[in-house]
Amino acid sequence: MARLPPTRKYRKRKPGRDRPLPPPGKGDLRILQVRSGIGRPAFERRTLEALGLKHHQAVVVQKDRPSLRGMLYQVRHLVEVTPAKAKAGE
């Protein structure tokens, strides 16, 4: 008997690459959570919490530093990172 085709629930994600981080600099980074932490390992959920992301589609702005880069590298498949725009008053 032939196997049934996979249902939507079990279909694999489209192959792709994680979004690259912007090059290191001295400015701020805008971090947007694009995927949920539900069903992820505890260390990934704790990393999202340490970044200040409380829920899906949350946005935070953090200073660019090596420790932040390490956290972003751990959850790079869950977040989208872009350089933050400078404030108009500065």
Q: What is the mean pLDDT of residues 59-78?
A: 94
Residue 87 inside a domain? The answer is no
For the cut 60, the answer to whether the pLDDT of residue 17 exceeds it is yes
Q: Say how many domains are in the chain.
A: 1
Q: Which residue has the tokens 């350089």?
A: 83
Per the model's pLDDT, the better-predicted residue between 85 and 74 turns out to be 74
- Domain enclosing residue 39, as ranges: 26-80
Residue 56 inside a domain? The answer is yes
Q: Which among 12, 37, 13, 28 is positioned nearest to 65, based on CA atoms?
A: 28
Residue 31 inside a domain? The answer is yes
Residue 59 inside a domain? The answer is yes
Do residues 35 and 83 touch, judged by C-beta distance below 8 A? no
For the cut 70, the answer to whether the pLDDT of residue 7 exceeds it is no
Per the model's pLDDT, the better-predicted residue between 87 and 58 turns out to be 58
Residue 74 inside a domain? The answer is yes
Amino acid at position 86, single letter:
A
Residue 60 inside a domain? The answer is yes
CA 15 to mean position of chain CA atoms? 17
pLDDT of residue 13: 59
41 band by pLDDT with thresholds 50, 70 and 90: very high
pLDDT of residue 81: 94
Query: Domain holding 44: CATH number?
Result: 3.30.1390.20
